[in-house]
Chains A and B, each alone.
Chain A
Amino acid sequence: MKTLTLYAALIISLSSAVAQADSKTVNKLLQNYASQNATTPDEKQGEQLWKKTFNYDGEFSTRSCTSCHTKDLTAVGKHVKTGKQIKPMSPSSNAQRFTDSKKVEKWFKRNCLWTMNRECSAQEKANLLVYLNKTSTF
C-alpha cells in the first residue's frame, strides 16, 4: 500500500512538472507584458474581449475573435474568409498552443488588427493569454 501511494505521488509530481514545462512560454510572455506595466492579467476581462464584437462597413461587418475561433476554446475553428481549419485555442485540446512566443506575438498582431483595427495593448494580450491558457484538465 505504501509503495502504491509513493508511486501515485511520483506520477502526480511528474505530471505537474510536465504542465509547468508547457507553460514556460506563457510565463515568459506574461513577464514581458508585466515589464510593460501589465502586472495583473485579468482572465475575466480576457474573456470579455475575446467575445466582444466590433462593427465595420462592408465585408465581415461584425468581427470578433470568435468569428474564426468559435466560442468553444476546445473546438476546431474555421477562417471566415478562406474556410481553412484552425486548431483549437485551448492547450488542453492542442498541446502546441502557446509553446512559441514569436508565433503568439505574430498572431496577436495580425488578429487584433483584423478584429479591432488596431494592435492589442500589453494589458489586453496578458488578459487574453491567461483566459485562453486556462486549462481545467490539469
Chain B
Amino acid sequence: MKSTLAITAVIFTIGIVTLPIVWGDNDFSWGEMDEYKHKSSGVAVIDSPLYKEECGSCHMAYPAGLLPAKSWSKLMSQLDNHFGDNAELDAEVSKSISEYLLSNSADKSAYRRSIKFNNSIKSGDVPVRITATPYFRHKHDEVPDRLVSANPKVRSFSQCNACHAKAEKGSFNEHDIRIPGYGRWDD
C-alpha cells in the first residue's frame, strides 16, 4: 500500500515537472526569455551609433522610446533653438536621426515603460521635454530639489544616468537608483 502511494507520488511529480516542457512553446529559449524580460520593463536600448554620437555629446543620448513620434518630430524641427542652444545638424544627418527616432518612438514600442510614457500624454499635447511628460512627473514628484538641482553631481533631471545607474542599458528600475551623495532611493 505504502509503495503504491510512493509510486503515485513519483508519477505525479514527474507530470508536474514536465508539464510546461510538453505544453510550452517549441521555440522557447533563454534568449527569448531575456527579451521578454526587457520588454516587460524599461525601454529599448539605442542601436544607432549616429544618434548616440550626434545627440550624446552634450547630454545623455535619450532612448527613442521615452517620447512619442510627434514629440521627436517637433524637437527635430527646431534644433536651431534646442532649449536655448543651437544644435543644428546637416540635412543628411538630421534625416537619418529623425528616421531612427520616429521608427523607434514610444508609441511604436512594445516595452512597458515606453507604453506608459506614451499613454500618459494627452492626444493634443506634444511635449518636447521628457521631463514634461505626465508619466515622468508622476514618477519623480517625490524627489526633492536637494537631490537633483541642488546636488552638484546631478544638477538636472536631464542627466538620467546620474542616478539611474542602468539608464544607458534602457533600465530605469527603482532598484538600480543610486543618487550621488545620498545612495539608494526607496519610495
Contact = CB atoms under 8 A, between A and B. Distances in A.
Given A83-B156, A84-B59, A110 B86 contact: yes
B87 A82 contact: no
Contacts, number: 41
Contact of B159 (A83, A106, A113): A83
A109 interface: yes
A59 interface: yes
Interface string B36-54: 0000000000000000000
A83 B60 contact: no
B112 to A, nearest CB: 27
A82 B59 contact: yes
B162 interface: yes
Interface string B88-128: 11100000000000000000000000000000000000000
Contacts of A81: 58, 83-85, 156
A-B interface, 9 closest residue pairs, ranked by CB to CB distance from nearest: A82-B59, A113-B86, A110-B86, A83-B155, A79-B58, A84-B59, A83-B159, A114-B85, A82-B158
Chain B interface residue bracket vs A: 10 to 19
Contacts of B57: 84, 86
A19 to B, nearest CB: 26
Contacts of B87: 110
B157 to A, nearest CB: 11
A109 B156 contact: no
B158 A109 contact: no
A102 B88 CA distance: 13
A86 B58 CA distance: 8
Contacts of B153: 83
Contacts of A114: 84-86
Contacts of A109: 86, 88
Contact of A110 (B60, B85, B154, B159): B85
A109 B88 CA distance: 9
A110 B88 contact: yes
A87 B60 CA distance: 15
A102 B85 CA distance: 19
Counting chain A CB atoms within 10 Å of each CB, which of B57, B90, B153, B162 scores highest?
B57
Interface in A98-118: 102, 106, 109-110, 113-114
A79 B88 contact: no
A84 B153 CA distance: 10
Given A83-B155, A84-B57, A110-B88, 14 more contacts: A59-B84, A79-B58, A79-B59, A81-B156, A82-B156, A82-B159, A83-B153, A83-B159, A83-B162, A84-B159, A106-B88, A109-B86, A110-B86, A113-B86
A83 B148 CA distance: 12
A113 B154 CA distance: 26
A82 B58 contact: yes
A84 B156 CA distance: 11
A83 B158 CA distance: 9
Contacts of B156: 81-83
